[in-house]
């Protein structure tokens, strides 16, 4: 396992939904297209704010220095150990949405808190993704991905200082976006787990390169 | 909501883990990097075969006709109503892995069952993705994405006939891979939900186009 991983699982126990604060298990009774009544089991977060249509956001933050236009854009990534998978995961910055917070505001806030960088949401219809469901056959958890650029020439981005909670241990780094697929394969070989947002973004970039989708 | 949606949720009830067959809820006790003992709540599938490191696969199936090299490659997508999100979801073909089945074999089998198409796993280190975790702060569910090409000129791909289970209702279609981001936005506007694999793949393609990552 990766050298950053000093965390470890001590015990895993079944949890009754009446004792849970953050997650729950539900039985869904539904009517199928032919009118047959069927059951489905699913899990849900208990943290989605009332009135919000998402649990949180992920941030695709692209680092750029306008004075160095020849540099290939880099994507900001994180290493964070996650109890549910008992591994250090390669992720994009992300977080749960606060009550009445917009997805864009949440993304810029989480980026600053987790990495110290000040970013700007990109325009031209590419700043805010549709709502994406993480595993819709299993749970209702979802997010919007927010696309942000970080201008490395700005004074506020010279010495980025994260403001982490006392139970958060996050290491920030970056890789060239065009090499993300190869980087994911390397990280897996080193014992890291790959978050689906990172791996699937890498697949999309690689598809575009291989199929010459300009 | 989309016209294909004849399914509907009748009832959602809390489910005790002792009554669940497919999913469960767990309390994880872990030691953080500073040696502090903490708790985390998570959910898990109960269906992962013993000895398997994944729950299932997703399939990026690219339709091609070698006699029409100028045609932009199209990606195979599905519409499937999902009880956990109470919506018809735009997804890639996917499925749970059988005991002792390889990810590649599972992908070709699920593609054939769900869409009728016969595909071939691509080579050059791009056929099989790293293991990707769907929502690693919430659950341990994961998959590998398998990249497949479907040769539309083959006799077996002339009249693809799915073999669906009696509780499966899946509609298959395709869109140009290069337009996937715009298609996702259109589908959301029409009331469909977007699976994270489809949406994030679209983001990757769009990033590559916008940042000119060749």
CATH of the domain at B130: 3.90.79.10
Separation CA A193–CA B33 (nearest Å): 18
Are B139 and A12 within 8 A, CB to CB?
Answer: no
Give me B156's structure tokens: 């077996």
- Length of chain B in terms of residues written: 214
- Whether A185 is in a domain gets the answer yes
Are B213 and A213 within 8 A, CB to CB?
Answer: no
Beta bridge pairs of residue A60: A147
Q: Write the CB contacts of B129 (distance below 8 Å, at least 6 apart in sequence).
A: A184, A199, A203, B144, B145, B146, B147
Smallest Cα–Cα separation from B132: which of B206, B200, B41? Answer: B200
| Residue of A9, A131, A207 with shortest CB distance to B193 | A131
Are A13 and B26 within 8 A, CB to CB?
Answer: yes
Other Cβ atoms closer than 10 A to B159: 7
- pLDDT category at A214 given cuts 50, 70, 90 is confident
- pLDDT category at B214 given cuts 50, 70, 90 is confident
Beta strands in chain B (DSSP E): 8-14, 23-31, 37-45, 56-64, 74-82, 87-91, 94-96, 120-121, 128-133, 142-151, 170-176, 193-195
Are A22 and B13 within 8 A, CB to CB?
Answer: no
Measured between beta carbons, the chain B residues lying within 8 angstroms of A143 are: 196
How many structural domains does chain B have?
1
- Whether B6 is in a domain gets the answer no
Separation CA A91–CA A195 (nearest Å): 5
Instruction: Give the 3-state secondary structure of residue B206.
Output: helix
- Whether B10 is in a domain gets the answer no
Mean pLDDT rounded to a whole number for chain A? 95
| Residue of A33, A73, A133 with shortest CB distance to B7 | A33
* pLDDT value at B2 more than 90: no
Q: Per-residue pLDDT tens for B151-180?
A: 999 999 999 999 999 889 999 999 999 999
Q: Say what the pLDDT of residue A4 is.
A: 55
- Whether A11 is in a domain gets the answer no
- Whether A133 is in a domain gets the answer yes
Q: Calculate mean pLDDT across residues B120-146.
A: 97
- Whether B5 is in a domain gets the answer no
- What is the complex's ipTM, to 2 decimals? 0.96
Q: Calculate mean pLDDT across residues A109-126.
A: 96
Q: Per-residue pLDDT tens for A59-73?
A: 999 999 999 989 999
- Whether B2 is in a domain gets the answer no
Gap from B159 CA to chain A (nearest CA, Å)? 25
* pLDDT value at B3 more than 60: no
The boundaries of the domain holding residue A190 are: 49-210
Are A27 and B13 within 8 A, CB to CB?
Answer: yes
| Residue of B17, B36, B72 with shortest CB distance to A25 | B17
- pLDDT category at B124 given cuts 50, 70, 90 is confident
Measured between beta carbons, the chain A residues lying within 8 angstroms of B17 are: 14-17, 25
Separation CA A50–CA A47 (nearest Å): 9
Are B138 and A45 within 8 A, CB to CB?
Answer: yes
Q: Which residue of A has its CA nearest to B184?
A: A130
Are B43 and A30 within 8 A, CB to CB?
Answer: no
Q: What percent of chain B has pLDDT over 90?
A: 93
Torsion of CA B183, A177, A142, B137, to 10 degrees: 160
- Whether A56 is in a domain gets the answer yes
Are A31 and B7 within 8 A, CB to CB?
Answer: yes
Torsion of CA A37, A40, A43, A46, to 10 degrees: 10
Torsion of CA A53, A58, A60, A61, to 10 degrees: 110
Q: Which residue of A has its CA nearest to B208?
A: A205
* pLDDT value at A2 more than 60: no
Q: Write the CB contacts of A121 (distance below 8 Å, at least 6 apart in sequence).
A: A104, A107, A108, A127, A128, A146, A147, A148
Beta bridge pairs of residue A132: A143, B194
Gap from B206 CA to chain A (nearest CA, Å)? 8
Beta bridge pairs of residue A76: A174
| Residue of A7, A32, A42 with shortest CB distance to B167 | A32
Measured between beta carbons, the chain B residues lying within 8 angstroms of A43 are: 23, 25, 43, 84, 138-139
Separation CA B65–CA A42 (nearest Å): 40
Measured between beta carbons, the chain B residues lying within 8 angstroms of A129 are: 184, 199, 203
Q: Calculate mean pLDDT across residues B189-207.
A: 98
| Residue of B28, B142, B188 with shortest CB distance to A9 | B28
* pLDDT value at B1 more than 80: no
Q: Calculate mean pLDDT across residues B72-87.
A: 97
Q: What percent of chain A has pLDDT over 90?
A: 93
Are A41 and B193 within 8 A, CB to CB?
Answer: no
Sequential DSSP letters for A90-130: EE--EEEPPTT--HHHHHHHHHHHHH----EE--TT-SEEE
């Amino acid at each position: 396992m990766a050298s950053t991983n000093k965390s470890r699982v001590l015990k895993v126990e079944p949890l009754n939904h009446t004792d849970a604060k953050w997650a729950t298990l539900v039985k869904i009774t539904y009517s199928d297209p032919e009118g047959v009544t069927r059951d489905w089991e699913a899990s849900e977060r208990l943290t989605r704010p009332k009135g919000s249509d998402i649990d949180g956001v992920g941030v695709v933050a692209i680092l750029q220095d306008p004075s160095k236009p020849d540099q290939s854009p880099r994507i900001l990534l994180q290493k964070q150990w996650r109890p549910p998978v008992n591994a250090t995961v390669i992720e994009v910055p992300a977080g749960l949405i606060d009550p009445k917070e917009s997805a864009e505001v949440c993304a810029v806030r989480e980026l600053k808190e987790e990495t110290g960088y000040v970013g700007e949401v990109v325009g031209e219809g590419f700043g805010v993704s549709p709502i994406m469901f993480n595993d819709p056959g299993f749970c209702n958890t979802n997010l919007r991905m927010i696309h942000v650029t970080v201008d490395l020439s700005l004074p506020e981005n010279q010495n980025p200082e994260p403001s982490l909670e006392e139970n958060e241990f996050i290491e920030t780094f970056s890789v060239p976006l065009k090499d993300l697929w190869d980087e994911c394969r390397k990280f897996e070989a080193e014992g890291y787990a790959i978050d689906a947002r990172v791996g699937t973004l890498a697949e999309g970039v690689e598809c575009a390169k291989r199929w010459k989708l300009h």
